Chains A and B, each alone.
Chain A
Amino acid sequence: MKRNVPQPPTKTYASWGRYPKAEPCGVIPLDWRDELPDFAALPASVLPYGYGRSYGDSCLNENGILLDASGLRRFIAFNDTTGVLHCEAGVRLDDILSLVVPRGWFLPVSPGTKFVSVGGAIANDIHGKNHHRGGTWGRHVRRFELVRSSGERLTCSPEENAGLYRATIGGLGLTGLITSAEIQLKPIKSAFIDEEQIRFESLDEFMELAQESVDDFEYTVAWIDCFVEEGRYIRGHFMRGNHRQAPDRPSDASRALPLVVPFNLPGGILLNQYTVRAFNTVYYHRQFAERVHKTIHYEPFFYPLDTIQSWNKIYGDAGFLQYQCVVPVENDNAAIKEILSRIRRSGEGSFFTVFKTFGEIASPGMLSFPRPGVTLALDFAYRGSSTLELLESLDAIVRASGGAVYPAKDARMSAESFHTFFPAWDEFSAFIDPCFSSSFLRRVNGEDAS
C-alpha cells in the first residue's frame, strides 16, 4: 500500500504527560527509509513521532500530520571494535542495550527511560546522569541522514552540512526527518553499576557531594523530598555510580517482571497532597544508614520507572506536567531556594523530584537545553489554572536567574520565556523545514489560534 496519503489516526498519539490533548488530522506510518512520502505534497504540516515519550507538546502536531517513525527500527551496521553503531531513527534505546551490552558496549548517555527512539534522542538532545562527564547525546552522534521536504537526503555531521547538524541536534524534529544515525557507544566491562547512596540534609551538602563526585563518578543524580518544613531547604539521597570493572558471571543475570498501569486511574485518585507527602517521607527514610554501597544491574540504576509500564497513567485522564529547569550556580543558589520555597507554598507537591548538576561540556546543538548549573525536575498533576500559574511563576524565577526550561518536557511556557531561554532561536529558525511544524513550535511562536 502506498503511504503518500495520510490516514486518520488508528491509535492514540499522545505525549507522555497526556497534557495537552492535541489530535493530529492524519498519520503516515513510515516502514522503510527508502519509501517515504513527498512531504511537500501533503495537505498539512508534518512532524516526526517516535514513542511519545516527550512530556508536553513538542511531539504533537494538532491538526497536522504525524510521521510515525516506529517502523524504522532496524540496525544498519555495528562495529564491535570501534563501538560505532549505525541504525534507523526509530530504533529504541532498549533495542540498542539488548544488542550491545552483551558485547561490552553501552549508551554514551542514558536518559531516565530506555523507551525513547534514537531520532527523539537527537531531536531533544537528551542528557543523563553523566552530563558532567559525557555531555549530551548530540555529542556522540557522528552523523545522521536528514530528509527534507525538498526531497534532499542530506548526510549531516560536524564536517558536512554542519549548520543543519547543529540545528537538528535539539531541534525538536523541525528541521526534517532523521532516518538513520551513527552513534559512538562507550566500552564497559560489566552490565552492573557500583552504586553509592548518601543521605543529605541541606543544599550545601548536596553541592559539596556533587562537587566531590565530579572526578571519580561517571554518574550522579539526587532525589529530593521537597516537603520538609520551611526554613530547611531540602533533604534527599545523592546517588553516584560507576560501571563495575570486574567482568560479569552468568549468575548475575536477573530481571524484574514489568508492572503495568493498565488504565487511567480515576481523577488521579492515588495522588494527593497527603499520599505524595507520605511517599516522600517513607522514601527518604528507606535508607537508615547515611551511606550505602551496592552493586546493581544497569536497568534499575538507570531506568527504575521503566519497570512500571505506563506509570504516567497514575495521574489520571487530566494528565500531568513535568517541569525541568536549569539555573546557574551563583548567589548561594538563591534561585533554587526560591523555586523550592515557591512550590512548598503552593501546596502542589511533586511526587518525585530529581536534582542534578550539569557540567561544562557544550553540546553542538543550537537549541540544546543543558548548560552549567543545577537542574531540577518535578512532576505536577494537572489541576487547571492553579498548576499553570505556579509553573509560570517558576519560569519568572528561572528567567531572572539566566537559566532555562527543557522544551522536551514543556507544555505551557510562554513565547517570551522560550525566546529568553533560547537566544539561538534566530540562528536556528533559518534551518526549520517549511513543511515541518509542531504544536510546541506554534505555541512558542505565538501562532496558535487557541
Chain B
Amino acid sequence: MNRRPLVNHTGSVLIFGATSAIAADVAQRFAAGGATLFLVGRSEEKLTALRDDLLVRGAPKVETAVADLTEIASHERVVAAAKQSLGTLDQVLVAYGVLGDQRASETSVETTLRDWQVNATSTIALLTLLANELERQRFGTLAVISSVAGDRGRQSNYVYGAAKAALSTFLSGLRARLSKAGVHVVTIKPGMVDTPMTAHMKKGPLFASPARVGHDIHQAMLRGRDVVYSPWYWRGVMLIIRLIPEPIFKRLPL
C-alpha cells in the first residue's frame, strides 16, 4: 500500500474542474506542500490566474489544459497530456459539476439530460479512463466530489441528486475493484458550500466555507479515506434523512 505523508505531498496532483472554488482551495493546499500540479478547466484565463497563485504558494511546476469535459472525446487527450506533464498520477481529484435548476429540469428534458451529462455520464466516462490508468500504475488516489444530495432524492433537487447518487454508487464499486491494485477511491460528499455555484442561495448556518471543505478533501486524499462527508456532521444529518420512511418523506417540504 502506498501511503503518503499527511502535510507535504511533493508528488503529482491532477485536478479536473480546477477553477471551482473548492478545487482551487484543495490545489492551494497541495501547492503549499510542494506538489506539482496539472489543472483542467474550461477557461484559459482562470486556469492561468490559478496557476500563477499556485506557483507563488510553492508548487514547483503547474501546467494546464483547457477542455470541456462534458465532451467525452476530449478525455483521452487531456489524460495523456496530464501523464506527459506529471509522469505518474499520484493524486487525482475530479471536481467539476453543475448544480442545475431543478424547476427548469422538470419542464425540459433537454435541461435534465444536459445536467446529467455533466454530473453523471461524462464523469463516469472520465472515471473509467482514470481507473484503468491508476490500476495499471498500481498506486494512487482518485478522489471525486459527489454530494450529500445523492444520499436521497428530494423534491427540491432530485435531478442533481440522482446524478450524484449514480456517481456515488459507481465509486463504491470502483473502490472495491481498485483496492486490489492498491489504489484509493475517495468519495467526497460536501453539504452546502458558499461558492459561486450557490451564490444565489440564502446563506444559513449550514453553509460551509470552501476552505473548510477544501481542508477535508485534502486530508481525505492524503489519508486515503473511503467516504467523507464535509463538514463531518452531514453524515449524521443524512443518516436521519435516509431513515425517514417514504410515506412520511414524500410529504416533507425538503
Contact = CB atoms under 8 A, between A and B. Distances in A.
Given A75-B56, A77-B52, A10 B196 contact: no
Nearest to A72: B49
Interface string A1-26: 10100010011000000000000000
B208 to A, nearest CB: 13
A13 to B, nearest CB: 11
A75 B50 CA distance: 8
A34 B201 contact: no
A121 to B, nearest CB: 19
A32 B203 contact: no
Contacts of B202: 10
A1 B49 contact: no
A31 B194 CA distance: 12
Contacts of A71: 21, 196
Contacts of B50: 74
Contact of B53 (A11, A29, A35, A76): A76
Contacts of B53: 74-76
Nearest to A11: B203
B200 interface: yes
B80 interface: no
B212 interface: no
Interface in B184-217: 194, 196, 199-203
B196 A78 contact: no
B49 A32 contact: yes
A99 interface: yes
A33 interface: yes
B52 A74 contact: yes
Contacts of A87: 56
B49 A29 contact: no
Interface string B35-55: 000000000011001101100
A7 B203 CA distance: 13
A71 B200 CA distance: 15
B201 A10 contact: yes
A33 B203 contact: no
Contacts of B46: 32, 34
Contacts of A7: 199-200
A152 B201 CA distance: 32
A78 B54 CA distance: 11
Contacts of A76: 49, 52-53, 56
Given A10-B202, A34-B45, A74-B49, A29 B196 contact: yes
The interface residues of chain B, by DSSP majority, are classed as helix
Contacts of B56: 75-78, 87, 99
A11 B199 CA distance: 10
B57 interface: yes
Contacts of B200: 1, 7, 10
Contacts of B194: 11
Contacts of B203: 10-11
A33 B57 contact: no
B72 to A, nearest CB: 24
A34 B57 contact: no
A423 B150 CA distance: 61
Given A10-B201, A32-B46, A75-B57, A1 B52 contact: no
Interface string A60-100: 00000000000100111110000000010000000000010
A33 B196 contact: no
A76 B21 CA distance: 17
Contacts of A1: 196, 199-200
Contacts of B21: 31, 71
B33 to A, nearest CB: 13
A262 to B, nearest CB: 10
Nearest to A75: B56
Nearest to A68: B199
User: Which of A3, A32, A87 has the most CB atoms of chain B within a 10 A radius of its CB?
Assistant: A32
A78 B56 CA distance: 6
Given A75-B56, A78-B56, A34 B199 contact: no
A99 B196 contact: no
Given A7-B199, A7-B200, A71-B196, A99 B57 contact: yes
B49 to A, nearest CB: 6
Interface string A417-440: 000000000000000000000000
Nearest to B58: A99
Contacts of B201: 10
Contacts of A29: 196, 199
A270 B52 CA distance: 47
A48 B168 CA distance: 40
Nearest to B48: A34
B52 to A, nearest CB: 5
A77 B52 CA distance: 7
Contacts of B52: 74-77
Contacts of A35: 45
A29 B53 CA distance: 20
Contacts of A99: 56-57
Interface in B71-113: none
Contacts of A10: 199-203
User: Which of B45, B49, B57 has the most CB atoms of chain A within a 10 A radius of its CB?
Assistant: B49
A3 B56 CA distance: 28
Nearest to A79: B56
A235 B250 CA distance: 69
B196 A31 contact: yes
A353 to B, nearest CB: 34
A32 B199 contact: no
Given A1-B199, A71-B21, A87-B56, 17 more contacts: A1-B196, A7-B199, A7-B200, A29-B196, A31-B21, A31-B196, A32-B45, A32-B49, A34-B49, A35-B45, A74-B49, A74-B50, A74-B53, A75-B53, A76-B52, A76-B56, A77-B56
22 contacts: A1-B200, A7-B200, A10-B199, A10-B201, A11-B194, A11-B203, A29-B196, A29-B199, A31-B21, A32-B45, A32-B49, A33-B49, A34-B45, A35-B45, A74-B49, A75-B53, A75-B57, A76-B49, A76-B52, A76-B56, A78-B56, A99-B56
Interface of A: 1, 3, 7, 10-11, 29, 31-35, 71, 74-78, 87, 99
